[in-house]
Copies of this chain bind each other. A is one copy, B any other.
Amino acid sequence: MAIEVLGTTPDARMGDVASAAGVVRRTVYGYFPTRSDLLVALARRAVSEIAAVLAEDAPVGKAADVAWADFIARLWPMTHRYRVLVVLRRGEFGEGIHALLGDVEQSLADLVERGQRSGAFGRHLPAGVLSQAAWSAVFTIADDELSRMELDVSAVILTSLLMLGVPESRAKVLAEQAGRA
């Protein structure tokens, strides 16, 4: 589908998207009158998927560090779909995308802040920045071609937990546990 292509390379041409969808350029315009529309639709979809996962994995009662671990575990296999978001933040759409991402980023920041208050996460960076850094680190790792394949989920989770200031011993347990599920 379209999301597969634009997910990995959001600057793909309409023609590429089309042929990836097994269809002709002209046809795409039937569904999305404009390239922008396509991108926005895609972003909107990605955002809502992510928000769903986040809501499900990080309910209010759950410990913040556990919630984070679970969230990353679910996020990991889908990173290639969501790359759109990361790339799109910079660039023409900056404003519009930021608006869409707004509440996801907010939820993430809230989660981190909760963790900071409970002492589970460190306070070396303000919650907003820290959450941002930790979650895009996951995408960075995913980008590394070498990693993609042979890499264990729990290693990725572990890395992000470490960034968040979770002590190594606990981080290891959480990562192991969330990675297994």
B-binding residues in A (CB < 8 A): 9, 11, 87, 90-91, 122, 124-126, 128-130, 132-133, 136-137, 140-141, 143-144, 146-147, 151, 155-156, 158-159, 162-163, 165, 167-168
Contact = CB atoms under 8 A, between A and B. Distances in A.
A138 B122 CA distance: 17
Given A122-B168, A137-B133, A168-B122, A91 B162 contact: no
Copies in the complex: 2
Given A162-B163, A167-B168, A140 B132 contact: yes
A177 to B, nearest CB: 15
B129 A133 contact: no
A149 B144 CA distance: 29
Given A129-B151, A133-B137, A155-B125, A165 B163 contact: no
A124 B91 contact: no
A162 B122 contact: yes
Contacts of A159: 124-125, 130, 133, 163
Contact of A144 (B87, B129, B165): B129
A18 to B, nearest CB: 21
Contact of A165 (B11, B125, B129, B162): B162
B129 A141 contact: yes
